[in-house]
Amino acid sequence: MDFEVTKFLFDTVQTLLIAAIGIQSHLARREAATIASIEQLEDDITTKISEHSVKISQLETNAQHCPTHEDLARIYELIRDSGNEQSNKLTEVIKSQAEIVGEMRHINRDVSALRENELRKSGTGTP
């Protein structure tokens, strides 16, 4: 073989090897960057999960102080019962007021009748 052909083949093989090493190096760096990005995301997720765990525990602590469904049911019953009591008292007041109004009408009628009788007896009245 000729020296020129050998040199050409050697240069071609060397160029292909250098290109293969460059491609492999690029792929390795890209893989390392992907791994670093994934690790960063895992750290961010771990941090956020721990923050959420703290918030959830705070919410659970606060929820312990809130009334339960049974407590709210009892409160509703008390309100309803007191509303019924107030309604009953109001009904009683209205009935009493109606009785008083009726009695006042009777008294007014009786007073008018007495006044009319007095005026007739004195002789000055003309109703």
pTM score, two decimals? 0.39
Domain boundaries, the chain: 1-66, 69-127
Task: Please determine, for residue 125, whether its predicted confidence score (pLDDT) is greater than 60.
Answer: no
Q: Which two tokens stand for residue 75?
A: 């409160």
Q: Please count the CA atoms within 13 angstroms of the CA of 53 that sit on its side-chain side.
A: 6
- pLDDT, one tens digit per residue, over 40-53 is 999 999 999 999 99
Residue 56: partners with Cβ closer than 8 Å, 6 or more residues away: none
pLDDT band at 55 (very low <50, low <70, confident <90, very high): very high
Is 60 exceeded by the pLDDT of residue 127? no
CB-based contact 8:15 (threshold 8 Å): no
pLDDT score of 69 = 86
Mean pLDDT throughout 106-118? Answer: 90
Q: What is the mean pLDDT of residues 54-65?
A: 89
